[in-house]
Structures are given as C-alpha cells and as structure tokens.
C-alpha cells in the first residue's frame, strides 16, 4: 500500500506524462497539421516537403520547452516518456494514414523515437539537475 507521499509522487508522474503527451499531440497539430503537399522544384527533378523548416523548428522548440518545464516541476522520466509517447502516437497516425503511405513511415517513426527519446531524457534530466543541484536525481 502506498503512503501519502508515494501516492502523491505517483499521481504527479502520471499527470506529467499525460500532460506532456497531450502537449506533443497538440504541438504537432498546431505546427505540422496544416502542412501543404510536396513541392516539386522548377526543373521537376527534386521534391521537397511536406513540412517547411520553420514548422519543424517550431515543433522542436515547443517540445523542448514543454519537457523542460515538466521535468522541472514534476517527474523528469515521466515528462520524457509522455512527450516521446505522444510524439510517436501522432506521427504514426499522421504518416500511417496518409493516402500515399508506402509503409516506410514505420522507419521514420522509429528514427523519430530514437532521437526524441535521447533528446527528451537529456532535457528532462537537465531540468531535474537545475532544480535540485545537490541531488543526483
């Protein structure tokens, strides 16, 4: 049975995970939800898109700030897990349900998971260390 302190810690971790997951989904929809189709260069040889660089940078900065704040206030591990989980969910949904999806989206989501996990845990750990400089976390 959990005592009051353990219950509060567990509840905080769960709420932080859900909050960062919701932030990830919302940020994806806000930054990348209105993307245009692929653009073809005038020569017809190169395709770019569908996202503009500023959209991806905006998403990344939003998630960095969100995970940092959540790691500062609550559980660092839960903030990273929630943020990465929400990002993986919405990326899988967006890329997997695209009409021209050819199955390679799975590789993209896997690479996104690897990179976002590494970045998320480093950011959350940094937030935790800055909040409690004397503790090892």
Query: What is the C-alpha radius of gyration for the chain, rounded to an integer number of angstroms?
Result: 18
Q: Report the pLDDT value the prediction gives residue 9, as an integer from 0 to 100.
A: 86
SS3 category, 42: coil
Residue ranges of the domains in the chain? 4-131
The DSSP-derived string for 54-118 is HHHHHHHHHHHHHHHHHHHHS-HHHHHHHHHHHHHHHHHHHHHT-TT--STHHHHHHHHHHHHHH
What letter does residue 40 receive in the DSSP assignment? E
The reported pTM is 0.83
Q: Report the pLDDT value the prediction gives residue 75, as an integer from 0 to 100.
A: 87
Give the pLDDT mean for 39-65.
85
pLDDT tens across 55-112, in order?
999 999 999 999 999 988 888 899 999 999 999 999 999 888 877 778 888 999 999 9
Q: Report the pLDDT value the prediction gives residue 137, as an integer from 0 to 100.
A: 45
Q: Report the pLDDT value the prediction gives residue 15, as an integer from 0 to 100.
A: 93
Q: Report the pLDDT value the prediction gives residue 129, as an integer from 0 to 100.
A: 87
Paired tokens of 71 = 């790691």
E strands in the chain: 39-40, 47-48
What letter does residue 119 receive in the DSSP assignment? H
Give the pLDDT mean for 1-16.
86
Q: Report the pLDDT value the prediction gives residue 50, as an integer from 0 to 100.
A: 81
Rounded to an integer, what distance in angstroms lies between the CA atom of residue 136 and that of residue 106? 36
Q: Report the pLDDT value the prediction gives residue 43, as an integer from 0 to 100.
A: 75
Q: Report the pLDDT value the prediction gives residue 132, as an integer from 0 to 100.
A: 63
Give the pLDDT mean for 43-59.
83
Rounded to an integer, what distance in angstroms lies between the CA atom of residue 7 and that of residue 21? 21
- Whole-number percent of the chain with pLDDT over 90: 52
pLDDT above 70 for 34 = yes
């Amino acid at each position: 049975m959990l005592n009051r302190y353990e219950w509060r810690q567990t509840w905080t971790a769960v709420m932080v995970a859900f909050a960062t997951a919701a932030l990830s989904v919302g940020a994806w929809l806000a930054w990348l939800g209105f993307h245009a189709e692929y653009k073809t260069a005038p020569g017809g040889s190169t395709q770019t898109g569908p996202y503009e660089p500023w959209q991806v940078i905006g998403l990344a900065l939003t998630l960095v700030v969100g995970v940092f704040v959540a790691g500062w206030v609550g559980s660092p591990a839960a903030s990273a897990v929630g943020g990465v989980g929400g990002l993986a969910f919405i990326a899988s949904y967006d890329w997997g349900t695209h009409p021209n999806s050819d199955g390679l989206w799975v590789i993209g989501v896997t690479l996104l998971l690897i990179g976002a996990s590494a970045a998320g845990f480093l950011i959350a750990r940094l937030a935790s260390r800055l909040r409690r400089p004397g503790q090892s976390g």
